[in-house]
Amino acid sequence: AGRAGAIVLDTRASADTFMKGHIPGSLYAPAGKTLSTIAGSYVLPEQTIYLVVDSADVVQDAVLDLIRIGLDNIAGYTLASELAGLDLAAITSIDTRAIESARNEPGTVVLDVRRLAEYEAGHIAGALNIAHTRLLVRSGELEKGPKYLVHCRSGARAAAATALLNRLGHDVVYVDGMYADWASHHKEEMGKPVEALL
C-alpha cells in the first residue's frame, strides 16, 4: 500500500485506536455516514485504495459508498487485527484541557477544521480556520514548519484532518474532545465573531 498512487483508508470506528497505531500515511475515514465525505474530500479518483476494517462485515458497504462517489479503484482490504506486529505510525493526541499549555509552545498553531459559520460564532483566539472538507485543496496555505493542534467541535472531523495533514508531512497533534468544554472555561479568550470586528 506504500506504492505511489496508492492510499490506505483506515475505516476503524475508534479515532483513538487509529492515532495510537496505523499504517504510515493512512487516512482516517470511519466506516458509516462520514466515509464518503472524507474519502470524497481527500482521495483522488486515480488513486488505488486499500481499506483497513474492524470487521469484514463492513467491507461491502464501504466499497459501495466509495463507488457511489466515483472512487472505484479499490484493490483490497485488511482486518485491523492483522495490523499487530507491523511497523505502525502514531500521532500525538491531547484533550481540550491541554490546548492552552500546548498552544503557548513556540512554533505551535491552532487549526480549527470546523465550518466557517461555526468558527465565526466563536473560536480559539488566533486559530486558523480551514474546513476539513477543504483541507486537501487548501493544504498549500499551511507552512511546513509549525506544529498544528487540530480541533473541531467533537474530535471527529479533526481526526480525519489530522491524518491527512500527517500524510502530507505536517507536524500535527490531534485534539480529542469537545470544543464546548474549552469554550466554557475560556470565554474571555475566544476570538470575536467577524461582525463584532466591523
- How far from chain centre, in Å, is Cα 182? 19
Q: Where are the alpha helices (DSSP H) in 24-153?
A: 35-42, 59-68, 99-103, 116-120, 135-138
pLDDT above 70 coverage of the chain, percent: 91
Instruction: Encode pLDDT of 26-55 as tens digits.
Output: 999 999 999 999 999 999 999 999 999 999
Q: Match 461491502 to its residue by C-alpha cell.
A: 60
Instruction: Encode pLDDT of 123-166 as tens digits.
Output: 988 899 999 999 999 999 999 999 999 999 998 999 999 999 99
Q: And the C-alpha cell for 13?
A: 470506528
The reported pTM is: 0.89
* pLDDT (0 to 100) of residue 188: 55
* pLDDT (0 to 100) of residue 197: 33
* pLDDT (0 to 100) of residue 189: 54
Q: Match 487548501 to its residue by C-alpha cell.
A: 138
Quick one: pLDDT band at residue 194, thresholds 50, 70, 90? very low
Q: Average per-residue pLDDT in the chain?
A: 90
Contact 135, 115 (CB under 8 A): no
